[in-house]
A and B are shown apart, each in its own frame.
Chain A
């Protein structure tokens, strides 16, 4: 039976946490694609009905700000993984 000293265990855990922080940030792809898609659709909407452009722009920005939250979650998780372990 192989036994690890506490040092080794701590090293492995720390290495895994740092790797995990990197993996967590891959989630940033999602909001980026979604926000860009929303911008594209908003542009199409402005072209279809130029009168409603103010409303379209505020709605787009609000939706993008909400979609951003997923990216912020992954950022928070990554920071927790880096700094607490």
Chain B
């Protein structure tokens, strides 16, 4: 029968949770790519229709407020994993 000492148990769980935290943080790439695309499209749009600048900025701002939050979800999980492991 294989059995582990308490230190081994602790270190296995700690390793797993730290690797998990690292993986969770990868999700932050997504909003970055999306926002970058939106910014590129917005510059193009302002060049084409300069009088709609205010509306374009509003659209970008509200879009960014919504899309930034998936990153925070993954950060919340990552910090749970770092501290609870």
Residues of chain A whose beta carbon lies under 8 Å from any beta carbon of chain B: 2-5, 7-8, 11-12, 14-16, 18-44, 46-48, 50, 53, 56-57, 60-61, 64-65, 68, 71-72, 74-75, 78-79, 82
Contacts and interface: CB of A to CB of B under 8 A. Distances in A.
A85 to B, nearest CB: 11
Given A25-B27, A43-B56, 13 more contacts: A4-B1, A7-B4, A8-B9, A15-B16, A23-B23, A25-B23, A28-B27, A32-B29, A36-B34, A39-B67, A56-B59, A64-B67, A65-B66
Contacts of A48: 49
B42 A43 contact: yes
Interface of B: 1-4, 9, 12-13, 15-17, 19-24, 26-42, 44-46, 48-49, 51-52, 55-56, 58-60, 62-64, 66-67, 69-71, 73-74, 76-78, 80-81, 84-85
Contacts of B3: 4-5, 7-8
Contacts of A53: 52, 55, 58-59
Contacts of B56: 43, 46-47
